[in-house]
Structure 1
Amino acid sequence: MNVDALLTGIYDHLPDLVDAAVDGLSPEQLCRRPGPGANPVGWLVWHLTRIQDQQVAELLGVDQVWVTGDRAARFGLTADPADTGYGHTPEQVATVRPDSAQALVDYHRAVAERTRTFLAGLRPADLDRVVDESWDPPVTLGVRLVSIAADDLQHVGQAAYLRGLLRS
């Protein structure tokens, strides 16, 4: 199996998992916290998409999908490319208010398509390219792509679990 097929296979699971996590949930359910300070389904899916969007855009040297069109407005936010949810306080989490499950799906699918296009052109040697020298050891493209996928899979799993709590 070649490297782009392997990575594409991993990332191609995410849109369906996102869809399943939010399908049929109302805006209120997307924002409902299972307990004080906990993150709701809508925030988790927004955050995992924001991280992938920010990281892949940086790797490509292009603007994030987030800052195009009316995406941010559909979440009650401004199109701040630095706002990914990382380090959000409970008050900041509460400001992320998707207008529908479809807003989350649409945003994630747009980011997933960009990621898929990026992955399609990779060769094994590309994965050894250092993309961040601020860490010791420096982070390679391969490590970054695995890290993004791992983070996304963890958060979509959390969202799916919370969906089950909401629907029970």
Structure 2
Amino acid sequence: MNAQDVIRQTAGTSMMVVNAYLSDLDDSELCSRPGPGCNPIAWQLGHLISSECRLLDSICPGSAATLPDGFDEQHSKDNANKDQPGDFCSKQEYLDLFTRVHAASMAALEQLSEADLDAPAPEHMREMFPTVGAMFVLIATHPMMHVGQWVPARRALGKPVVI
């Protein structure tokens, strides 16, 4: 197993957990907040999608999927206080976008050599993620930083344990 295999496996695990936790939620339930002051699940999904595109373009310019007009603004920090179904996309739209964004990231990864993964990350990210490979690890694990927040929302909605 090489570095690309490990990153690909990690990203696949993250997406499996995302899909499991979203599997039985409807569009209105995506507006649930895990707790006071937490961002709604729908906003977090948009943040994950937008972030992955920005991160990928910072290390592989032009490789990220194109998002719908206004998507980044819809999921900006200024809109994290919104929590009505009309404020966000449908679950299917998020799933479709996330699939496309993830596929673009994995396609970009396939084009890189092991040596490419050792190249320095963008300057503003180097303190925490020093290399292109470390940036791909961030892309692969960022969803896991958020899905744990969805469990309290799932419990409050009376949803079963899925993992």
**1:128-167 alpha-carbon deviations (Å, 9 max, x no partner):** 1012124665831122222233322111232244223323
Fraction of identical pairs, as percent: 26
SS in 2 for 1:139: coil
Question: 2:82 aligned with 1:94, yes or no?
Answer: yes
| Contact 1:129/1:141 (<8 A) preserved | yes
Which structure 2 residues correspond to residues 87-126 of structure 1 after superposition, within 5 A?
A: 88-89=77-78, 91-94=79-82, 97-126=87-116
Q: Which residue number in structure 1 is paired with residue 9 of structure 2?
A: 9
Supply the AA of the counterpart residue of 1:38: C
CA distance in 2, matches of 1:45, 1:126: 29
Considering only aligned residues, what root-mean-square deviation do their CA atoms show, in Å?
2.7
Pick closer, same or farther for the CA change 1:4–1:162 going to 2, 3 Å: same
CA distance in 2, matches of 1:135, 1:15: 23
| Contact 2:59/2:121 (<8 A) preserved | yes
5+ long unaligned stretches in structure 2: none
SS in 2 for 1:152: helix
Shift of 1:57: 2.5
| Contact 1:33/1:40 (<8 A) preserved | yes
SS in 2 for 1:125: helix
Q: Which residue number in structure 2 is paired with residue 75 of structure 1?
A: none
Which structure 2 residues correspond to residues 1-168 of structure 1 after superposition, within 5 A?
A: 1-62=1-62, 64-67=64-67, 71=68, 78-80=70-72, 85=76, 88-89=77-78, 91-94=79-82, 97-134=87-124, 137=127, 139-168=130-159
Instruction: Please report the TM-score for the alignment, with normalisation by the length of structure 2.
Output: 0.78
Shift of 1:83: 7.1
| Contact 2:39/2:80 (<8 A) preserved | no
User: When the two structures are aligned, how many residues end up with a matched partner?
Assistant: 156
SS in 1 for 2:121: strand
5+ long unaligned stretches in structure 1: 73-77
Instruction: Please report the TM-score for the alignment, with normalisation by the length of structure 1.
Output: 0.76
SS in 1 for 2:157: helix
| Contact 2:46/2:71 (<8 A) preserved | no
Shift of 1:114: 0.6
